[in-house]
Amino acid sequence: KQSAVIAPSILSADFARLGEDTQAVLDAGGDWVHFDVMDNHYVPNLTFGPMICKALRNYGITAPIDVHLMVEPVDELALAFAGAGASGISFHPEATRHVDRTISLIKEAGCKAGVVLNPATPLDSISCLLGKIDMILLMSVNPGFGGQKFIPYVMDKIRQARAIIDDTGRDVRLQVDGGVDVDNIGELWEAGCDTFVSGSAIFGSGDYARTIARMNAEIDS
């Protein structure tokens, strides 16, 4: 397992002050910026695209930008994000016709590549890809909205994914996204996650630094 990463989801940031609020959550101890891209097609909600990613880079955000594409199709937007300063790009395999090609495109564009599994999508579906991807993202809510409750059966899937990754001997990150908070992050770390997306639990708390410090304390203990 790799060292823990907290990736605050700026889906829950103040969009009217996005640069400042993103910098604030990084100053408070966030490691990566989790950037949720929704297209009102693959998911029933609409957020932001590559121009906003580029604007954050121009504003001076230097932390890794972890783009989570909830869009269909994937390839063209993935390339646009690579050009807009994304560090890693994750996509839902069912949203692209040729999954292996999409991974190659992302990597050739110089970004880390991740695949995202919805809560009910089996791990078997990505067994061929384990030698090629940099991250598996397990959704612990149905994608589309922040502030939902963690779906309990995903905990077992996390344990299985950890075992599968360990078998490969490769450094593949295991990220969890949805309903992550101070109360469950310790259990998620124990189960094998190393990369934690959290939106409402951080941005909805009055004190980002305190919340992130409490999350890190749960991981250390």
**Which of the residues 39, 177, 181, 194 is marked catalytic?**
177
**Binding test (CB under 5 A) with Zn ion, winner from 36, 66, 194, 218:** 36
**Binding test (CB under 5 A) with Zn ion, winner from 31, 177, 181, 194:** 177
Residues in contact with ligand DX5, shown as a per-residue x/- string from 122 to 151 under the rule CB under 6 A? -------------------x-xx-xxx---
What does the alpha-carbon distance between residue 172 and residue 191 come to, in Å, rounded to a whole number?
A: 15
Nearest to ligand DX5 of 19, 147 (CB atom):
147
Nearest to ligand DX5 of 65, 163 (CB atom):
65
What does the alpha-carbon distance between residue 197 and residue 122 come to, in Å, rounded to a whole number?
A: 21
Residue 31 interacts with ligand DX5 (CB under 6 A): yes or no: no
What does the alpha-carbon distance between residue 46 and residue 77 come to, in Å, rounded to a whole number?
A: 14
27 labeled part of a ligand binding site: no
Check if the beta carbon of residue 126 is closer than 8 Å to that of residue 133.
yes
What does the alpha-carbon distance between residue 63 and residue 60 come to, in Å, rounded to a whole number?
A: 9
What does the alpha-carbon distance between residue 145 and residue 38 come to, in Å, rounded to a whole number?
A: 9
Residue 102 binding result from ligand DX5, Zn ion, none, given CB thresholds of 5 to 8 Å by partner type: none
Burial of 171 from C-beta contacts in 10 A (0-12 / 13-18 / 19+): exposed
221 labeled part of a ligand binding site: no
Q: Which residues contact ligand DX5 (rule: CB under 6 A)?
A: 9, 11-12, 34, 36, 68, 141, 143-144, 146-148, 177-180, 197-201
Which residues are marked as active site? 36, 177
